[in-house]
């Protein structure tokens, strides 16, 4: 039956997050979570359940102050939200209001095109080069804004500050958003460019390097005018986005720099070792500055490896997308987890070769 009301239902193709399988024995290397957990300091604090009857501080003042102090910026340069997904969505809504298309790479975080569609923002996706690098010249054309992650996801490739500066110099009339979800794993942050570029917005998250994906904490840093604008949009949508436990625990986590550094260093050294082992097994991948590698095998289709690993209880990520469907994005877990994956791959590859 033709129901007339159907004509007015919004149809969107949603972003599909990686699976969150249940089960104890599973090795989960599919959503770039950090295996070490948040700072143990957060075990010593707890939100008083009595306070949960109260709305949280809409300005998230304590967390904002802690983030500002941590990065050495003013508090009116900081905006916080429910994970960087929320921050990015608010930023798209606030800053991308031109008829001209916004620009982001064809291979990148797959939420960008979902928000662009949802908010009816025109967009263009210039192709990455053959080696998966962003071609700066693609971003010299007229546009309504620019956004990309650095390091890029899912490639793991990080560009240097000269590259970012070049993009900014060619895009002085629009807002340029650099999504630094993975910057703590080895890249150089664009934070130091903020004084020179009033149109630069940097987005960060506690989900990856701070191992707090479950709390949903993200933030943006930029000039106070941009921050005021994004706050106005947020308060027009839902003023109490950050919950009390997240505000408290996020603030505490910033105090434990030693633990933060230690776990990041562990992940980086596991990555270095794991990359070497993967090369021996016939995999190749771009040099990663993130907590994952983006690997393809010289003989075996990625999809087959993905399915077989999953059947063995090891979850990695595979994207059925043009140009990258023969790649696996593998999160760097603990040494033990990566050893288990390597030994699975060794067996799988040798059986495959005997077939
Ligand atoms: C993980 C990720 C995010 C979102 O992280 P949140 O958990 O929402 O903070 C944003 N951008 C990129 C590139 C990511 O990989």
Residue 153 CA: nearest ligand 1 atom is: 13
**Band (157; pLDDT cuts 50, 70, 90):** very high
Over 80: is that where the pLDDT of 272 sits? Answer: yes
This prediction has a pTM of: 0.96
Could you tell me the sign of the dihedral formed by the alpha carbons of 282, 288, 290, 296, in that order? negative
Over 80: is that where the pLDDT of 1 sits? Answer: no
Minimal-distance CA residue to ligand 1 atom 11: 181
Could you tell me the sign of the dihedral formed by the alpha carbons of 82, 235, 150, 131, in that order? positive
Per-residue pLDDT at 241: 85
Ligand 1 centroid distance, CA of 271 (Å): 20
% of the chain surpassing 70 pLDDT: 100
Per-residue pLDDT at 324: 96
Per-residue pLDDT at 9: 92
C-alpha distances in Å from residue 299, one per residue of 142, 189, 282, 285, 306? 42, 36, 8, 14, 14
Over 90: is that where the pLDDT of 21 sits? Answer: no
Q: List pLDDT tens digits, range 295-324.
A: 999 999 999 999 999 999 999 999 999 999
Ligand 1 centroid distance, CA of 1 (Å): 41
Separation between Cα atoms, residue 233 and residue 261, nearest integer Å: 35
User: What are the structural domains, with CATH classification, of the chain?
Assistant: 19-31+257-353 (3.90.1150.10), 55-253 (3.40.640.10)
Per-residue pLDDT at 266: 98
Separation between Cα atoms, residue 242 and residue 229, nearest integer Å: 18
Please indicate whether residue 84, judged by its CB atom, sits closer than 6 Å to ligand 1.
Answer: yes
Measure the CA dihedral 203/159/37/49, to 10°.
0
- Give, for ligand 1, the residue of 208, 288, 317, 319 to mutate: max count of ligand atoms closer than 8 Å to Cβ: 208
Per-residue pLDDT at 16: 86
Q: What is the mean pLDDT of the chain?
A: 96
Ligand 1 centroid distance, CA of 352 (Å): 35
**Band (239; pLDDT cuts 50, 70, 90):** confident
Separation between Cα atoms, residue 177 and residue 84, nearest integer Å: 12
Over 80: is that where the pLDDT of 214 sits? Answer: yes
Q: List pLDDT tens digits, range 65-120.
A: 999 999 999 999 999 999 999 999 999 999 999 999 999 999 999 999 999 999 99
- State the helix-helix crossing angle for 83-95 and 224-235, rounded to 10 degrees: 100
Residues forming a β-bridge with 295: 328
Minimal-distance CA residue to ligand 1 atom 14: 181
**Band (235; pLDDT cuts 50, 70, 90):** very high
Ligand 1 centroid distance, CA of 205 (Å): 7
Higher-pLDDT residue of 60, 24: 60
Written as one string, the DSSP assignment of 303-348 is: HHHHHHHHHTTEE-EE---TTTTT-EEEE---HHHHHHHHHHHHHH
Separation between Cα atoms, residue 238 and residue 347, nearest integer Å: 51
Per-residue pLDDT at 41: 92
Ligand 1 centroid distance, CA of 111 (Å): 9
- Give, for ligand 1, the residue of 85, 112, 177, 331 to mutate: max count of ligand atoms closer than 8 Å to Cβ: 85
Per-residue pLDDT at 51: 92
Contact predicate 318/303, CB 8 Å = yes
3-state helix, strand, coil in the chain (%, to 5): 40, 15, 45
Ligand 1 centroid distance, CA of 181 (Å): 6
Q: Where are the beta strands (DSSP E) in the chain?
A: 27-28, 78-81, 102-103, 123-124, 145-149, 176-179, 200-205, 218-221, 283-284, 292-297, 314-315, 317-318, 328-331
Please indicate whether residue 29, judged by its CB atom, sits closer than 6 Å to ligand 1.
Answer: no
Please indicate whether residue 199, judged by its CB atom, sits closer than 6 Å to ligand 1.
Answer: no
Separation between Cα atoms, residue 149 and residue 230, nearest integer Å: 19
Per-residue pLDDT at 265: 98
Ligand 1 centroid distance, CA of 179 (Å): 8
In this structure, of 39-43, 144-148, 261-265, the range with the lowest mean pLDDT score is 39-43
Separation between Cα atoms, residue 107 and residue 104, nearest integer Å: 8
Q: In sequence order, which ranges of 179-256 are alpha helices (DSSP H)?
A: 224-235, 244-253
């Amino acid at each position: 039956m033709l129901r007339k009301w159907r004509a007015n239902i919004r149809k969107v193709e949603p972003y599909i997050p990686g699976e969150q399988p249940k089960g104890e024995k599973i090795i989960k290397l599919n959503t770039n979570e950090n295996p070490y957990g948040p700072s143990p300091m957060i075990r010593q604090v707890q939100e008083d359940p009595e306070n949960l009857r109260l709305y949280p501080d809409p300005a998230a003042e304590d967390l904002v102050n802690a983030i500002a102090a941590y990065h050495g910026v003013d508090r009116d340069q900081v905006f916080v939200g429910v994970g960087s997904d929320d921050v990015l969505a608010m930023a798209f809504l606030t800053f991308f209001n031109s008829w001209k298309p916004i620009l982001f790479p064809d291979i990148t975080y797959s939420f960008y095109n979902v928000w662009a569609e949802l908010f009816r923002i025109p967009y263009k996706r210039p192709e990455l080069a053959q080696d998966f690098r962003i071609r700066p010249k693609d971003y010299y054309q007229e546009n309504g804004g620019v956004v990309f992650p650095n390091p890029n996801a899912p490639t793991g490739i990080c560009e240097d500050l000269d590259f970012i500066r070049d993009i900014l110099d060619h895009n002085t009339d629009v807002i340029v958003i650099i999504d630094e979800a993975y910057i703590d794993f080895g890249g150089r942050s664009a934070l130091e460019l903020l004084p020179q570029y009033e149109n630069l917005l940097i987005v960060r998250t506690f989900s990856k390097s701070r191992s707090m994906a479950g709390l949903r904490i993200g933030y943006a840093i930029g000039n106070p005018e941009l921050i005021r604008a994004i706050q106005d949009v947020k308060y027009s949508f839902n003023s109490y986005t950050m919950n009390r436990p997240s505000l408290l625990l996020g603030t505490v986590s910033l105090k434990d720099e030693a633990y933060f550094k230690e776990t990041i260093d562990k992940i980086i050294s596991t990555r270095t070792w794991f990359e070497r082992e993967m090369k021996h097994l016939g995999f190749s991948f771009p040099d990663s500055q993130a907590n994952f590698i983006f690997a393809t095998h010289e003989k075996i289709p990625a999809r087959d490896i993905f399915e077989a690993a999953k059947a063995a209880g090891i979850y990695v990520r595979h994207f059925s997308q043009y140009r990258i469907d023969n790649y696996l994005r593998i999160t760097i877990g603990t040494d033990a987890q990566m050893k288990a994956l390597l030994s699975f791959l060794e067996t799988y590859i040798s059986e495959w070769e005997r077939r």
